[in-house]
Amino acid sequence: MSPEEKIVALGFELPPALPPRFSYIPYRKVGDMIFLAGHGPRLPDNTYRSGKISSDDQIPGAYADAQLTALNILATLKSAVGELSRIKAFVKVLGMVNAAPTFTAHPKVIDGCSDLLVNVFGEVGRHARSAVGMSSLPSGMTVEIEVIVQIVT
């Protein structure tokens, strides 16, 4: 089953890759590596799920936001490489959570992204990761995630 088929089988839909809203490019290819710009839980109407995560009862919603962010990342990767099956490895994930100073469960939020990548890609989706809290994120988004992937050339 292709990664695109696996996404559908898991009950998700790959959104269209949306262009950047500011002055940057969505990714940079260097050899067999792709470095993605930070992505957030961007909705089709070009807005973001927003808010500050301050308590454990907000984790399920923020986890879902990290899943949506992962889908947006996969949409960008698909536009970069054509077929998601060309991804050889997810090398590194940096997950940032728009968090109150007392919130410390950042990894549980970013697991939304990590779990989706592993569920879609299996071992290829396993990655090194950092999950950190930020005092704010662009457009007030709940999470921002960037990835580095290796592709089959």
For the chain, give the percent of residues with pLDDT over 90.
Answer: 94
Does 148 score more than 90 pLDDT? Answer: yes
Residue 32 has what pLDDT? Answer: 98
- Alpha carbons within 13 angstroms on the beta-carbon side of residue 2 total 9
Residue 150 has what pLDDT? Answer: 98
Q: Looking at this protein, which amino acid is placed at residue 105? A: A
**Nearest-10 crossing angle of helices 59-81, 106-121:** 40
Contact 95, 145 (CB under 8 A): yes
For the chain, give the percent of residues with pLDDT over 70.
Answer: 100
Residue 18 has what pLDDT? Answer: 86
User: How is the chain classified by DSSP, letter by letter?
Assistant: --HHHHHHHTT--PPPPPPPSSSS-SEEEETTEEEEPPB--B-TTS-B-B--B-SGGGHHHHHHHHHHHHHHHHHHHHHHHSSGGGEEEEEEEEEEEEB-TT---HHHHHHHHHHHHHHHHGGGG--EEEEEEES--GGGBSEEEEEEEEE--
pLDDT in tens, 17-74: 988 888 999 999 999 999 999 999 999 898 999 999 999 999 999 999 999 999 999 9
Where in the chain are the domains? Answer: 3-13+28-151
User: What's the rounded Cα separation, in Å, for the pair 88 and 66?
Assistant: 22
Taking domain 3-13+28-151, whether its CATH number is 2.40.50.140 is answered by no
